[in-house]
Amino acid sequence: MSTPSTATITVPPHQFGHIPSMGDYSRPYPPAADQRTINSHAQYAHNPSYTVSQAPRQTNSQSAQYYDTSSNPRLAQASSSQKRARDPVDWVQFYGGKPPKEVIVIDDTPPAEEHAMGAGVSLEGHYEKRRKTGAADYNGTLSNTQTPSAAYDQYGRYTGSTDRTTYQSTAPTSLGSTSSGGLYNEDASAGQKRKRVARQPPAPAAAPRRVAEEEKDPYAAYIPPPNPPLKAKDVHVAVIADRSATRDQKVDDEDGHYMVVEHADLTERYSIIKLLGQGTFGKVVRAFDRRTKKEVAIKIIRSVQKYRDASRIELRVLSTLASNDRSNRNKCIHLRDAFDFRNHICIVTDLLGQSVFDFLKLNNFVPFPSSHIQQFARQLFTSVAFLHDLNLIHTDLKPENILLVNNNYQTFTYNRNIPSSSTATNRSAKFRKVLLEPEIRLIDFGSATFDDEYHSSVVSTRHYRAPEIILNLGWSFPCDIWSIGCILVEFFTGDALFQTHDNLEHLAMMESVVDSPIDKTLVRSVTSGRGSNKNSAAAFFKRNTLAYPQEDTPRSSKKFVKAMKKLHEIIPSHNAFNKQFLDLLRRIFIYDPKKRITAKEALRHPWFREHFEDDGTEAEKIRAQRERQAQQDSYARSLGRT
């Protein structure tokens, strides 16, 4: 098990934050079945729920031994000390009705040695190392190397950007969270035995019961919207007059994008701090709200009519989300303000951290710990279940549209080969940055669609696109579930699962990963059209079989598809945690959308009852410890002022 380090890094924030229905998507589903059986049969045997033991399963035998305090006197002593710290003490009575001027406290053990900030995080070459599939085995230790391998500006903020969203993202990009440099640093030097304190501060409050309930049973903790849900009408966007002395100057470029000037006013209420990102729909800036005295993220829509019209749909979706979840239990970005300034509709939201993709990029695409993948999945399925209960389909789920609430991380030693979805990829890493708090928010509802309203023919970013979209069979709620499956595998390997830009190659890669041909019933639906009703995707099939490769298929494509691993090879089932994770993914990667697992069914899956000790759980212990220390320091400072 890892040894805590005294060094902490705050990763500076970067990113912001009609086809008929495909059928009934609220079905229960049966126990695990072979993937070929799942994809070849038309019906499931109905099973209302899983039968699961109440206690979480221990999948790492070393963990239990490590935390056995009876075999470790120092841990037992620490446990006893923590218990005493939690018990309330009447200090006035203890000191005979009059508190002393000062108290000298002798520490039981000296504090850990301070680690110097290292020069950087090392990562071996992308193609030079052998692959090892057992990446979920926990055997890491903390590193004292905390310097991110990224560029920073003069204020210490991260200046890297997402290279996959620059030209196509329509999501608001957020930047936020404060540095923890002064919050978490230990105030005792190595070898120090004594320190002065005024009084023992109260112990921090216990974790809310709601958090424990969500970890034990995510579905039981899910609170659906009202039935019927509140569907917002068009949001009124007030036009704000331009009262600046330079209102006649040019404010747009030739493409209709707003020309961002740092420290310039965006109405009298907001002041632009910096540009955060740019996409097809417009730009996102970090701004200061003079009314609330807080920083916010503002998405400035292009002054082109079709984008202005699309932004009004997004505003209606954001208003619907807020109306049905005032406390934001379902972790979707909330609308704070909207206005029309200089012919640009501006959408104001909370300022959040960088995107999950940008964190992966900063981490040299080293995958997340398994425990964090599980927590991300729980939050994603909760958010998507909420959307689907509102009759909304997100249609563009991807790591770029998932923002971190807090970017703080701890570097751990990794020293292993990185799992991959392809035999052609061999990577290894010495270190891994691990988030201290894997809380997320779902953003970018610019493409979100109400299921009973108009559906465009093609949705979703290519890598996360469901097969029914490629096959022109119409789409609905299940396309979001397929996207989540692609995202979870990417979290496990660090790389996108389906890296392609060709429809036929994409389908061939799906068949390789799923290890099963596309259902004959779906193929017949594609090839049955005649004349003007002929489906263009019919060209992908010959005699009800995927016609790949074809005569003009490049050799590189054949080689790439052949190198794709099967799902059970990507996720090795060497422990109960991975077995359940693999089972969930098999229920996601089902070609027929009517048979695909739903978001609420996924929340019932036994994988969410599994527990796995790894770098992620260790990082959360470090965070909790430092929060307690910060609270104690704050309490001591407050007493010093009085």
Strands of 206-269 (E only): list them: 238-240, 265-266
* Amino acid identity at 376: F
Q: Among 325, 358, 396, 444, which one carries the catalytic annotation?
A: 396
Contact criterion met (CB below 8 Å) for 165 and 277: yes
Over residues 578-589, the pLDDT tens digits come to: 999 999 999 999
pLDDT value of residue 279: 87
pLDDT value of residue 215: 61
Written as one string, the DSSP assignment of 206-261 is PPPHHHHHHHH-HHHH--PPPSSPP---PPP-EEEP--STTTTS--B-TTS-B---
User: How far is it, in rounded angstroms, from Cα 383 to Cα 362?
Assistant: 26
Mean pLDDT confidence for 283-311: 96
Mean pLDDT confidence for 178-204: 36
- Phi/psi at 58 (5° precision): -95, 115
pLDDT value of residue 419: 96
User: How far is it, in rounded angstroms, from Cα 405 to Cα 359?
Assistant: 12
Written as one string, the DSSP assignment of 608-634 is GGEE--SHHHHHHHHHHHHHHHHHHHH
More confident residue, 208 or 488: 488
Residue 222 has pLDDT above 80, yes or no: yes
Strands of 132-213 (E only): list them: 194-197
Contact criterion met (CB below 8 Å) for 333 and 349: yes
Domains and CATH numbers, the chain: 16-51+367-402+438-610 (1.10.510.10), 231-350 (3.30.200.20)
Residue 366 has pLDDT above 90, yes or no: yes
pLDDT value of residue 428: 96
More confident residue, 625 or 99: 625
DSSP 70: G
Contact criterion met (CB below 8 Å) for 238 and 269: no
The residues, ordered by sequence, that sit 6+ positions from 85 with a Cβ below 8 Å of its Cβ are 200, 203
User: Other CB atoms closer than 10 Å to residue 233's CB: what's the count?
Assistant: 8
Average pLDDT value over all residues in the chain: 77
* Selection from 446, 397, 443, 449 nearest residue 282 by Cα: 446
Residue 553 has pLDDT above 80, yes or no: yes
CA angle 487, 419, 148 (to 5 degrees): 75
Exposed, middle or buried, 78 (CB in 10 Å: 0-12/13-18/19+)?
middle
Over residues 607-627, the pLDDT tens digits come to: 999 999 999 999 999 999 999
User: How far is it, in rounded angstroms, from Cα 329 to Cα 350?
Assistant: 15
User: How far is it, in rounded angstroms, from Cα 227 to Cα 432?
Assistant: 44
* Amino acid identity at 493: T
Beta-ladder partners of 289: 270, 294
User: How far is it, in rounded angstroms, from Cα 125 to Cα 418?
Assistant: 12
More confident residue, 348 or 233: 348
Over residues 74-92, the pLDDT tens digits come to: 444 544 555 444 555 565 5
Sorting pLDDT into bands at 50, 70 and 90, what band is 450? very high
User: Other CB atoms closer than 10 Å to residue 31's CB: what's the count?
Assistant: 10
User: How far is it, in rounded angstroms, from Cα 620 to Cα 185?
Assistant: 16
Unique residue bearing structure tokens 């079989």 = 545
- Extract the tokens encoding 491: 């979290």
Contact criterion met (CB below 8 Å) for 46 and 480: no
> Is residue 228 reached through a cis peptide bond, with omega within 30 degrees of 0 on the bond before it?
yes
Q: Is 299 annotated as a binding residue?
A: yes
More confident residue, 282 or 203: 282
Note the residue count of the chain: 642
pLDDT value of residue 332: 96
Contact criterion met (CB below 8 Å) for 35 and 469: no
Sorting pLDDT into bands at 50, 70 and 90, what band is 98? low
User: How far is it, in rounded angstroms, from Cα 418 to Cα 492?
Assistant: 9
Written as one string, the DSSP assignment of 461-514 is -GGG--HHHHTTS---THHHHHHHHHHHHHHHHSS-S---S-HHHHHHHHHHHH
pLDDT value of residue 250: 86
User: How far is it, in rounded angstroms, from Cα 493 to Cα 367?
Assistant: 5
Q: Is 633 considered catalytic here?
A: no
